[in-house]
Structure 1
Amino acid sequence: MTRLVTLIFIAILLLSCKESEQDRIIRFVNEWNGKIIQFPDSICLTSYTSDTVMTKYTREQSSYTILNYVDTIGCVSCRLQLPRWKVMMEELDSLYPNKVNCLMVFNPKGKRKLIKHLRNNQFNYFVYIDEKDTLNKMNDFLNEENFTTFLLDKKDKIIAIGNPVLKPKIRDLYFDIISGKTVASSVDKVALTVVSLSKDKVDLGDFSWNKEREAEFVVSNVGKLPLVINDVITSCGCTKVDYTKKPVLPGENVILKIKYKAEQPEHFNKTITVYCNAENAPFKLNISGNAK
C-alpha cells in the first residue's frame, strides 16, 4: 500500500513539474516515504478565536493526521492559506468524524501578526505556534511549501506527501486514502485538450496601495476536446480570480479576471496556478506591480 501511494504521488507531481525537477522530486519522495515524524514531548495547542488552550496533545481516536508545517516568513496570507484549510477541515470533520486530525504547526517571524491573522480569518481550529521551531529541527523538513505537509498513519508514518489545499490532485489522493477507496482511482487518465494563452504576465505598474486593480488573461481552447478548469490557486489571499466553471468548447475562450488588493504598500509579484485538463497543465500566470 505504501509503495503504491509513493508511485502515485510521484506520478501526480511529474504531471505538473518540469522535466528538470523530476529527479529531485523522486529522490525526496523516496527519502521521506515511510519515515516516522518525531514530535516534541509536549505540544500546547491554542484556538485563538476563543483563546482556548489544550495543554496535552493527543489523537488516540484518529486513524490519520494531516501535519501542515509552515514558517510565516513573507506574506502571511500567502503562506498560511487559512480560508482553504478551513474549508477542507470542515469537510473532513463532516465526512470522517474522529478519523482525521489536522495538526497545524506554525513557526512565526512575528507571533502577534500571526495571531491577528488567525483571528481576522476566524480560524477556530487549534494550532501549535512553535516559536523555537522544535518540530522542524527534530525532523529537518525541506524548505519548500509543497513538501512540508504530510498525511500520517496512526503510528506517525508518512503515507503521502504534498499540500492538499494547493494541489487538487493531492487533495483527491488524501481523501481517497482516508475513505479507503482504491488509491489508483485518483490518477486515472483524463482526456486532454490544448490551450493557448493571450499572455502569461501582466505588469500593473504603479498605483495607490489602497485601491483594487484588475487584469485579464484569455485562455483559448485550441484542442479537440472541452476544456475543464478544475481549480485556480493564487499565491496570496490578496489576489482573487473569477472565471466560468462551465466546460469551454473547442474554439472558444475563457477569461480569467484577476483582482489584486494590497494589504500594505509593496512591490509585488504574484503567481496564479491554473489546474485543468490541458496537456501543459498546470500552467502559471503572473501579475506584478508597485502598490505605493
Structure 2
Amino acid sequence: MKKLLYICIIIFICGACGNDRENDIIKRIRTWENRTILFPKNTVFTKGGIDTVDWDFSSSYKIMTYVDSSGCLSCKLQLLEWKKLIKSTQKQFPDSVRFLFIFSPSQRTALLHELNIAQFDYPICIDENNLIEKLNNFPVDAKFQTFLLDKDNKVIAIGNPIHNPKIKELYLRIIQGGQISEEKESKQIMTEVGMDATSVSLGSFDWHKEQKATFTLKNTGGNPLVIQDVTTSCGCTTVSYSKEPTHPGKEITLEVVYKAEHPEHFSKTVTVHCNTASSPIRLSLSGDAK
C-alpha cells in the first residue's frame, strides 16, 4: 500500500514529467515515510492571529500545511480555497479530520491582512521564530510542504490538495479507508489536446484596471475532453470556463481575469487538470501593472 501511494502521488503531482524528475520526487517522498511531525510543547494557536484558542491534536487524521516567508504570500496561502476544503471535509468527516496551519511570515501585518480579507477564522499557528520548521526541516519546494498525518502525527502522504485535485482525491480516499489502485486510475477515458498558446503577455497597464486574457484548448483526440479542475497561483487571478465536456474536434475557451492588488511586474500560473496524458497543463499570464 505504501509503495503504491508513492506511485500515485508521483503521477498526481508530476504527470508526464520525465524519469529524472520522477526519481527526484521518489527520493523526497521516501525521506518522509512514517516520519513524525514534531511540535514545540508551547505551540500556540489563534483565530485571526489575535485570540488564543485551544487546539486538540487528537483526531484520526490531520492535514497540515506549512507556509514560509518566501514568495508571494497571497499566492501561497490560497485561504479561500482552504475554507472550501475545510467546509466540505468537515461535512463529510465531522470528527475524523483536523487542519493544521503553520505560518512563518516575514511580516506579521501582511499575514493578518490576508486573514482579514479572506475572513479566515480557523485556528492557525503563527510561528514567527520558525521553530516548527527547525524541528522538522521541511522541504523547500512548496509542493511538498503539506502533509496528511495519522493520529500520531506520522506522515501518510505528501502534496497540496488545494493546488492539485488529484492530491485532494488521494487524501479523501485515505481518510475514508479507500484503497488506491493503479488499475482504477488507468480506466480513465483519455483524449488529446492542442493549444493556441500557453502564455499571454498583457504588457503595461493601469494597475487599477482589471485585465482579461483567453486560452483556447482544442480536443484533438477521439474522446470527450473533460476539465476536472483549474487552479491559479494567486487569488488575484480567476478563471471561468464551461463545465460541459468538449467533444472531439471542438474547442473550449478559458477566460482568465487578473486584478492587481498593487503596482508590480507579475507572472501568474493557471494549472488545468484534464483527462489527457499532458495533464496538468500549465498556462502563464504576465505583464506590468503600473
TM norm structure 2: 0.95
CA distance in 2, matches of 1:64, 1:187: 24
Q: List aligned pairs for 1:82-161, cutoff 5 A.
A: 82-161=79-158
SS, match of residue 281 in structure 1: coil
Q: Which one is further off, 113-122 or 5-14?
A: 5-14
SS, match of residue 183 in structure 1: coil
Q: Which residue of 2 aligns with 1:172?
A: 169
* 221 and 70 in structure 1: CA distance in 2 versus 1, 3 angstrom threshold: same
* 284 and 188 in structure 1: CA distance in 2 versus 1, 3 angstrom threshold: same
Compute the displacement of 1:16 (Å): 5.0
CA distance in 2, matches of 1:13, 1:148: 13
Is residue 227–residue 248 contact of structure 1 (8 Å, CA) maintained in 2?
A: yes
Q: Which residue of 1 aligns with 2:37?
A: 37
CA distance in 1, matches of 2:234, 2:99: 22
Compute the displacement of 1:180 (Å): 1.1
Aligned residue type for 1:47? K
Compute the displacement of 1:39 (Å): 1.1
SS, match of residue 236 in structure 1: coil
1:289 equivalent among 281, 287, 290? 287
SS, match of residue 188 in structure 1: helix
Q: Unaligned 5+ residue runs, structure 1?
A: none
SS, match of residue 181 in structure 2: helix
CA distance in 2, matches of 1:22, 1:204: 34
Compute the displacement of 1:186 (Å): 9.8
* 231 and 12 in structure 1: CA distance in 2 versus 1, 3 angstrom threshold: same
Compute the displacement of 1:20 (Å): 3.3
Compute the displacement of 1:53 (Å): 1.1
Q: CA RMSD in A?
A: 1.6
Q: Unaligned 5+ residue runs, structure 2?
A: none
CA distance in 2, matches of 1:44, 1:216: 45
Compute the displacement of 1:8 (Å): 2.6
Q: Which residue of 2 aligns with 1:261?
A: 259
CA distance in 2, matches of 1:21, 1:191: 25
Q: Which one is further off, 11-20 or 89-98?
A: 11-20
Is residue 233–residue 270 contact of structure 2 (8 Å, CA) maintained in 1?
A: yes
CA distance in 1, matches of 2:277, 2:3: 27
Compute the displacement of 1:14 (Å): 4.3
Is residue 8–residue 187 contact of structure 1 (8 Å, CA) maintained in 2?
A: no
Aligned residue type for 1:197? M
Identity %: 40
CA distance in 2, matches of 1:171, 1:197: 27
CA distance in 1, matches of 2:139, 2:106: 18
SS, match of residue 190 in structure 2: coil
Compute the displacement of 1:75 (Å): 1.9
CA distance in 2, matches of 1:186, 1:228: 20
Aligned residue type for 2:209? K
CA distance in 2, matches of 1:98, 1:125: 16
Is residue 67–residue 150 contact of structure 1 (8 Å, CA) maintained in 2?
A: yes
Per-residue Cα deviation, 1:239-288 (whole angstroms, up to 9, x for no partner): 11110000000000000101001000000011111100012111111111
Following superposition, which runs of at least 4 residues in structure 1 exceed 4 angstroms of deviation?
Answer: none
Are 1:7 and 2:7 counterparts? Answer: yes
Aligned residue type for 2:252? V
Are 1:20 and 2:17 counterparts? Answer: no
Is residue 169–residue 186 contact of structure 1 (8 Å, CA) maintained in 2?
A: no
* 99 and 26 in structure 1: CA distance in 2 versus 1, 3 angstrom threshold: same
Is residue 270–residue 288 contact of structure 1 (8 Å, CA) maintained in 2?
A: yes
TM norm structure 1: 0.95
